[in-house]
Amino acid sequence: MKEAKRLADDGIYLNENRSDNPKEMFKFIRSVVSSKRLNSASTLLDVGCATGELIYYLKCNHPNLSCTGVDVSNAMIKLAKTRQPNESFVCGNILTKKNQKMSQYDIVICAGVLQIFDDIELPIQNLLSSVSPFGMLVVAGSFNNHNIDVLMRYRSGGSRDIAGWETGWNLFSKETIERCLKKYGKHLSWNWFDFEMPFPLPEKEDPMRTWTISTEHNSNQLINGAAQLLYTKVLCVSVGRIDHNV
């Protein structure tokens, strides 16, 4: 599988420090994963951690967590280590071959990453392999309620650079994600949670950074410059037992 990367990410995360103004998605993730589970967990892995903003937010609320962040960007990992020297940050990627021995964690979070890949089966398998028995995998991103998968590429208008096409906004159906979960072979149970922005976001200079518009069904509908309406969800997967109370 070809490694994919959203090229714009370094330019965003390296030039901004939003640690003290956490994303609404971070707050939502914490709200759907029970405080009981977060407080009882001892280890947490953030896959695609960027500069560690999610880990910073969770540590502020659950200081007993021992956190590890993984990202493909050396520059972002270096900055994360500078900002949070007491946590573990390593450079790595989710496309590492399956079946190799992996460390396991009580909670594994992967937010806004799966949309980069054209094939998500191996990433999902690797994420699940990183969850300890009776642990939880938390995946956040945009997913399709309809059983349709979409592979998407974008570039600045007028460009003739064939190599300039970027990924990062692929759309997979809930059915596709659940099919990958069912193939894993362990006893899993899961729940989906719909996320909506609680307030409007203005359009930004970079058109591929999401903002909101008002629609008939949602006063704060997320959209990007590729004219994609984004239906964001959080998937919580309990590993090793049936547990509908996440």
pLDDT of residue 244: 43
More confident: 8 or 73? 73
Strand order in the sheet with 211-213: 211-213, 221-223, 229-230
pLDDT of residue 243: 46
Residues 189-213, mean pLDDT to the nearest whole number = 96
Yes or no: say if 141 and 113 are a contact pair by the CB < 8 Å rule. Answer: yes
Residues 109-130, mean pLDDT to the nearest whole number = 95
Asked whether the predicted pLDDT for residue 67 surpasses 80, the reply is yes
Split at pLDDT 50, 70, 90, the class of 100 is low
Query: DSSP readout, 13-39?
Result: HTT---TTS--HHHHHHHHHS-HHHHH
Annotate 197-233 with three-state secondary structure. Answer: CCCCCCCCCCCCCCEEECCCCCCCEEECCCCCEECEE
Q: Which sequence spans correspond to the domains of the chain?
A: 9-148+167-199+233-239
What pLDDT digit, counting tens, does each position of 126-181 carry? 999 999 999 999 999 999 999 999 999 999 888 777 778 899 999 999 999 999 99
Question: d(Cα 52, Cα 79) in Å, to the nearest integer?
Answer: 9
Asked whether the predicted pLDDT for residue 32 surpasses 70, the reply is yes
More confident: 242 or 208? 208
Percentage, residues of the chain above pLDDT 90: 76
pLDDT of residue 99: 47
pLDDT of residue 185: 73
**Hey, what are 165's tokens?**
């096409």
pLDDT of residue 9: 57
Asked whether the predicted pLDDT for residue 246 surpasses 60, the reply is no
Percentage, residues of the chain above pLDDT 70: 87
pLDDT of residue 13: 58
CB burial class (10 A; 0-12, 13-18, 19+) of residue 12? middle
In degrees and rounded to multiples of 5, residue 139 shows phi and psi of: -120, 130
- Tell me which fold the domain 9-148+167-199+233-239 belongs to: Rossmann fold (3.40.50)
Asked whether the predicted pLDDT for residue 242 surpasses 50, the reply is no
At position 166, the amino acid (one-letter code) is E
In what helix (H) or strand (E) does residue 60 lie, and over which residues does it extend?
Answer: helix 53-61
């450079």: which residue's tokens? 91
Split at pLDDT 50, 70, 90, the class of 18 is low
Question: d(Cα 213, Cα 209) in Å, to the nearest integer?
Answer: 13
3-state secondary structure of 149: coil
**Hey, what are 220's tokens?**
């704060």
pLDDT of residue 177: 98
At position 223, the amino acid (one-letter code) is I
Residues present in the chain in total: 246
Question: d(Cα 56, Cα 84) in Å, to the nearest integer?
Answer: 8
